[in-house]
Amino acid sequence: METPDKKIKAIEKQEYEDLASQIRPKPKLARNMAWAFVVGGLICMSGQWIINYMVSLGVSLTDASTSASCILIFLAALFTGLGYYNELGQHAGAGSIVPITGFANAIVASALEYKREGYIFGVGARIFSVAGPTLVFGFVIAVLVGLIKVFLTS
Amino acid sequence: MVPLYMAFLVGGLLCVIGQIVMDATKPTVTPGHILVGYISAGAILSGLGLYQPLVNIGGAGATVPLSGFGHVLVQGTLKAVEHKGLLGAFSGGVEAAAAGITTAIVFGYVVAVIFNPKG
Amino acid sequence: MPGRKKRGQQTVVFDSPPVITAWASVVGPKEGEGPWGQDFDLVLEDYLFGEKTWEMAEHKMLREAITRAVDKRNFMPEDIDLLLAGDLLNQIVASNFAARDLEIPFLGLYGACSTMSEGLSVGAMLMDGGYFERIVAAACSHHYTAERQYRFPTEQGVQKAATAQWTATAAGAVLLEASGSGPSIKSITVGKVIDMGQTDQSDMGSAMAAAAAHTIKTHLSDLNLPGDYYDLIVSGDLGQIGSAIARQLFVRDGIISPEYSDCGVLLYDQSQTVGSGASGCGCCACMLCGPLLKKMQKGEINKLLLVATGALMSPVTSFQGESIPSIAHAVAIETA
C-alpha cells in the first residue's frame, strides 16, 4: 500500500540520491580495467610458465596444471601472511581476486584475522568464511552436472 | 603447448570481466561474490562443454582463474560418472580438485598460525 | 515548570552551562603523522599499544585518554561522579573494559560515530540538572577492530572505493565540571534518526550528510541563529564526499554562509591515502580533544558547533539489504 507519506519519502530519497551521485566520484573504470588485465594476466602467465616447464620435464599436462595451481596457492598464502597481497589487491582489483591466488588470499586473510580467537574456532572455523560458499557452489553445480549426465546416459 | 602470451591474454580478459562486474554493481558485488560467481560460471560452462575450448586456447589463462577450478570439478565429475555411474557424480569432482582444495586449506592454516595480521 | 529549558523542536539551552575544564586525546601512528600530530596528548608508536589484541589496545587508549584528562585537573578517577562513553565495537566492549579498570560509575552509550556529541549532550544535561559535579564524556575507535567487524579481513586484497573512509585509531575524553575555567556548553540539539535510503557501506558520508544537515538546520532555527553565528560548524566524520553533500544541503535549507568543516576531512593529509577521509567515534573525539579545544583556549575559535554524525547500521542489517539510518547531535561550545 503506497500511502502519500511513503510516496513523498520515496521522492525525497530519490532527490537525495541524485544530489549524492553528482558529488560521488565514479570508479576509474579504465584504470581499474588496465590494472586487472595486467596483474591477472601476469598471474596466469606465470601459471603457464610453470606448466610448460613441467611438461618439458615429462610431467602430464593434467598433473602440471594441478601443480601450477598448488604453487600459485602456496605463493599467494605466503604473500598474504607477509602482508603484501592486500597491497596488490588495492590496485589490481579483480586482477588479484579472480585467479586462484585470490581464493587463497581470501582463505588466509579470514583465518589470520581471527587468530586471536584461538586456533580451533578462530583460525579453524574462519578459514571457511570465504572458501566455504565458493566450494559449496562448486560442489553443488558439479554434482548437478554429474546427475544430469547419469540421467542422460541411462 | 600454450604460448605464454595467450595465457596472459585470456587470463587478463577474464579478470577484466570481473572488474567490470564489480565496478558496475558497486557496492553489491564483493570479492566473495566474484569468487562464487566465477566458480559457478566455470562449472556451468564446463558442463555445457564451452569451457574446454577456452582452456585449449588460453591454457593457464583459463585454468588459473577460479572458473578453471569449477571446470576441474565438473570435468572430474563427468569422467567419474563414465566409470562409476551415480557414485561418480558425488565423488569425481572433489577427487579431481583435491590437490587444490587441500593445498589452499593446509597452507592457509599454516600461514595463519605462523604470521600475524599486519593491517 | 517542566520543559522550560527546551527551545524549539529538539534543542536544550542550559541555565548554568557546564564547563569543559580539561580534555585529552590519544591517537594512533597514522593520526599522529597527520597535520595535527603535535596537538594530541599521546601518539602511539604501534596499533597494539603493548596489548595482545586490537580490542584491548582500543580499551587501553580510551582509559589512557580519560586518566590523562582527569589528571590535568589533579583529580583521581574516584573523584569523578560519572563516566559516559561509547565506541563502535559490539556491546561497546572497549568502553565497558575501560570503565572496569577505572571504577567510575558508568553509563555506556551507543551512537556509532556520533558518540562524542551524545556523551557531551547527556553529560551537560545531567550536570545542568544538578545531578553530578564532575562528568567525563569519552569516545574511541580503532581502525583494525572496526575494519574486521564491519568490513573485510585486513589482509584480504580488496580495492577500497574512493568513497570509503578510514576508521581513525583515536580516543578523546572531556571533563565537564559545574564551574571552573574553560569553554562551556551553551546548548545541545538532539538529532533524529534520518534515513535517505543509502545502502553503500563503503560510502557512509553520503548516508550521514542528511542527518548532519538536518540537525544543523534544526539547531539554528530552534535558537533563531543566523548561519554565520558560529565561528566554526564542524561535523564528525562525513569525509570529502559527505561534507560536499552537506554544503549543498545548507544551500537548499537556506543556511547562509556557514563557516563549515568536517573532522573527517581535517584529520588526515591528502597524501595519506584515506579515500574520502577519516571516520569513527575517535575521529571527532580526538579532533575536539586536541586541535579544536586548543584553538578555543587560545581564542582562535570562540563559538564552535560540534555535530558528530553516526551511521546506525550493523553488518547484519547491511547483509540483509537494509539502508543505513544516520544520526547527528549538535553541541554548542562557547568561550565565556
Instruction: Give the model's pLDDT for residue C152.
Output: 79
Which amino acid is residue B3, in one-letter code? P
Q: Per-residue pLDDT tens for C78-127?
A: 999 999 999 999 999 999 999 999 999 999 999 999 999 999 999 999 99
Residue C158 sits at the chain A interface (C-beta within 8 Å): yes
**E strands of chain B, at which residues?**
none
3-state secondary structure of A140: helix
| Region of residue A138 (left: phi > 0; alpha: psi -120 to 50; beta: else) | alpha
Instruction: Give the model's pLDDT for residue C189.
Output: 98
Subunits with 3+ Cβ pairs within 8 Å of C are A, B
Q: Is residue B110 part of a domain?
A: yes
Residues in C 3-32 with any Cβ partner in B closer than 8 A: none
Enumerate the residues of chain B whose CB falls inside 8 A of the CB of residue A107.
104-105, 108
Give yes or no for a contact between A80 and B110, defined as CB atoms under 8 angstroms apart. no
Give yes or no for a contact between C220 and C229, defined as CB atoms under 8 angstroms apart. yes
Phi, psi of C189 (to 5 degrees): -125, 120
CA-to-CA distance for C312 and C307, rounded, in angstroms?
16
Contact B81 A70 (CB under 8 A): no
Q: At what angle do helices A85-92 and A100-113 cross, to 10 degrees?
A: 130
CA-to-CA distance for C336 and C325, rounded, in angstroms?
36
Instruction: Give the model's pLDDT for residue C3.
Output: 60
Domain count, chain C: 2
Subunits with 3+ Cβ pairs within 8 Å of A are B, C
For C6, C7, C213, C307, C310, the CA distances from C219, given in Å and listed in that order, are 12, 9, 10, 10, 17
Contact C154 B26 (CB under 8 A): no
Residue A18 sits at the chain C interface (C-beta within 8 Å): no
Per-domain residue ranges of chain A = 27-113
> Are C283 and C226 within one domain?
yes
Residue A49 sits at the chain B interface (C-beta within 8 Å): yes
> Are C262 and C292 within one domain?
yes
| CATH for C166 | 3.40.47.40
CA-to-CA distance for C288 and C290, rounded, in angstroms?
5
Q: Is residue C1 part of a domain?
A: no
Tell me the three cell numbers of residue C66. Answer: 580519560
- Full residue range of the structural domain in which residue C92 is found: 6-177
Instruction: Give the model's pLDDT for residue B11.
Output: 97
How far out from the chain centre does Cα B66 lie?
3
Q: Is residue B119 part of a domain?
A: no
Q: Count the neighbouring beta carbons within 10 Å of the beta carbon of residue C251.
A: 9
Tell the burial category of A106 from Cβ atoms under 10 Å away from its Cβ (0-12, 13-18, 19+): buried
CA-to-CA distance for C246 and A9, rounded, in angstroms?
19
Give yes or no for a contact between C200 and C150, defined as CB atoms under 8 angstroms apart. no
Most B CBs within 10 Å: which of C51, C159, C201, as the mutation test of the B interface?
C159
Per DSSP, C73 falls in state T
The sign of the torsion formed by the CA atoms of C168, C279, C272, C303 equals: negative
Identity of the residue in C148, C156, C241 whose CB atom sits nearest the CB atom of A23: C241
Give yes or no for a contact between C36 and C290, defined as CB atoms under 8 angstroms apart. yes
Q: Is residue C74 part of a domain?
A: yes
Residue of A nearest to C202 (CA): A24
Give yes or no for a contact between B92 and B77, defined as CB atoms under 8 angstroms apart. yes
- Full residue range of the structural domain in which residue B60 is found: 4-114
Contact C153 A16 (CB under 8 A): no
Q: Which residues contact C44 (CB under 8 A, 6 or more apart)?
A: C26, C27, C28, C29, C32, C61, C169
Contact A12 C159 (CB under 8 A): no
Domain boundary among C125, C152, C177: C177
Enumerate the residues of chain C whose CB falls inside 8 A of the CB of residue B118.
154-155
Instruction: Give the model's pLDDT for residue C310.
Output: 97
Domain boundary among C120, C143, C177: C177
pLDDT at B119 over 80: no
Q: Per-residue pLDDT tens for C44-60?
A: 999 999 999 999 999 99
Q: Per-residue pLDDT tens for B16-72?
A: 999 999 999 877 888 999 999 999 999 999 999 999 999 999 999 999 999 999 999
Tell me the three cell numbers of residue A146. Answer: 554429474
> Are C161 and C219 within one domain?
no
Contact A115 B117 (CB under 8 A): yes
Q: Is residue B103 part of a domain?
A: yes
> Are C208 and C115 within one domain?
no
> Are C164 and C204 within one domain?
no
CA-to-CA distance for C263 and C306, rounded, in angstroms?
10
Q: Which residues contact C27 (CB under 8 A, 6 or more apart)?
A: C40, C42, C43, C44, C168, C169, C170, C171, C282, C286, C290
Which residues of chain C carry a pLDDT beneath 70? 1-3
Domain count, chain B: 1
3-state secondary structure of C175: strand
Instruction: Give the model's pLDDT for residue B62.
Output: 97
Domain boundary among C124, C151, C177: C177
Instruction: Give the model's pLDDT for residue A2.
Output: 63
Q: Pick from C153, C45, C98: which is nearest to A126 by CA?
A: C153
CA-to-CA distance for B61 and B14, rounded, in angstroms?
8
Which residues of chain A carry a pLDDT beneath 70? 1-2
Q: Count the neighbouring beta carbons within 10 Å of the beta carbon of residue C320.
A: 9
Which amino acid is residue B84, in one-letter code? K
